[in-house]
Amino acid sequence: MHPMLNIAVRAARNAGKVILQKFEEKDKVEVLQKGSNDFVTNVDKDAEAMIRDTILKSYPKHSIVGEELGQQLGSDADYLWVIDPLDGTTNFIKGIPHFAVSIALKVKGRTEQAVVYDPIRGELFTATRGQGAQLNSKRIRVNKATDLSGTVLATGFPFKQKHHMEEYMNAFSALFVHTADMRRAGSAALDLAYVAAGRVDGFFEIGLKPWDTAAGQLLVKEAGGLITDFAGGNNQDKSGNIVCGAPKLAQAIVKELRPHLSDALLK
C-alpha cells in the first residue's frame, strides 16, 4: 500500500471509531442546521478534527479542505487532502446505519489516493491511481452493463436544490422505465463505492460538493468505470452534477437525462 494511502486509511479508521462511539450514544449528539435541509453534528466536526490530526502528524506541510472545518493551507500546495468526515449525516442523525468517511489526496490537482470507509460494516474501499480499486484488499470492478435494461441505478434527490426537483423527477422517470430498479440510500460516497464494487450498475446526482465525490470518483475510474457530467463532459467537479457507471452504461444514462434538463444543469 502506498504510504500516503496508508495514512488515509489510518485517518478513516480513527474517524470511524469516533462515529461508531457516538452512534451508540445518541443523547450526546448535537445537531445544528447549516442551511435548508442541511445538517451538521458535533460528530462530523470531531471526526474531521481526528482526520486532520492523523494526516498532519505524518504530513504537516500538506493542505486540507473539509466539509466542516474549511480549508487549511500548508506550505506545500502540491498536496491537497479532500475530506468528508461523515457522508450521510442525515442517516446518522436518524439512526440509519448507512454512512461513510471519505478521504482523497490530490497531487498537483490530480486525485492519486482514495479511501471510502463504512464503519458500520467494516468495509474499506481504497484506490491508488493506476493500480486499481479494492474492497478490504480484494480487487473490485464495475459491472459491465452496456445499456439500461436490467440495471439497478443509485441516485440522490436534490434536497438542497429543490428548484431542480421537476427536472430531476422527469429525468428519473425517463431512466426508471428502462431499469430493473432505482436506489436512494443517502450517501454519495457509498453510492460511488458501490458502483466501483459492482453492487449497483450506475449513479447520478445533482449538486454534489467536491468532498462528496473526490474519493469515490477515483474508486470508479480505477474499477473500470466512466465519470461524466450531465452533458457527457468532464465538468462534474465544478457543476457537482455527476453520472457514472461502466463506460457504455454511463453514456446511456446521459442520453436519457439530457432531454429533460435545463441548460443550467448541462453546463
CB contact at 8 A, 19 and 47: yes
Question: Would you put residue 130 in left (φ > 0), alpha (ψ -120 to 50) or beta?
Answer: left
Contact 81, 64 (CB under 8 A): yes
The pLDDT of residue 28 is 77
Instruction: Check residue 68 and give its pLDDT.
Output: 86
What are the φ and ψ backbone dihedral angles of 50, each rounded to 5 degrees?
-65, -45
**CB 191 within 8 Å of CB 98:** no
H runs (alpha helix) in 24-74 = 42-58
pLDDT at 38: 67
pLDDT in tens, 63-87: 999 988 889 999 998 999 999 999 9
Q: What is the mean pLDDT of the chain?
A: 94
Q: What is the pLDDT of residue 33?
A: 77
Contacts 24+ apart (CB under 8 A), 42-45: 43/18, 43/19, 43/86, 43/92, 44/68, 44/85, 44/86, 44/89, 45/69, 45/85
- How confident is the model at residue 105, as a pLDDT? 98
Handedness of CA 21, 139, 214, 189 (dihedral sign): negative
pLDDT at 260: 87
Write out pLDDT tens, residues 95-146.
999 999 999 999 999 999 999 999 999 999 999 999 999 999 999 999 999 9
Q: What does the block give as the cell for 51?
A: 482526520
Q: Cell numbers for 210, please give them.
A: 467536491
What's the mean pLDDT in 155-162? 85
Nearest CA among 122, 242, 123 for reference residue 188:
242
The alpha carbon torsion through 43, 48, 50, 55 (nearest 10 deg) reads 170
Q: Is 245 helix (H, G, I), strand (E, B) or coil?
A: strand
User: Does 161 score more than 80 pLDDT?
Assistant: no
pLDDT tens track for 5-33: 999 999 999 999 999 999 988 777 888 87
Residues 38-53 have pLDDT tens digits of: 677 899 999 999 999 9
**pLDDT for position 35:** 66
Tens of pLDDT along 239-261?
999 999 999 999 999 999 999 88
d(CA 14, CA 175): 39
* Per-residue pLDDT, 37: 61
Confidence at residue 264, expressed as pLDDT on a 0 to 100 scale: 76
- For residue range 169-223, what is the model confidence (pLDDT) as tens digits? 999 999 999 999 999 999 999 999 999 999 999 999 999 999 999 999 999 999 9
The pTM of this model reads 0.95
How far apart, in Å, are the Cα atoms of 258 and each of 156, 241, 255, 265, 266? 17, 12, 6, 9, 7
Cell of 266: 448541462
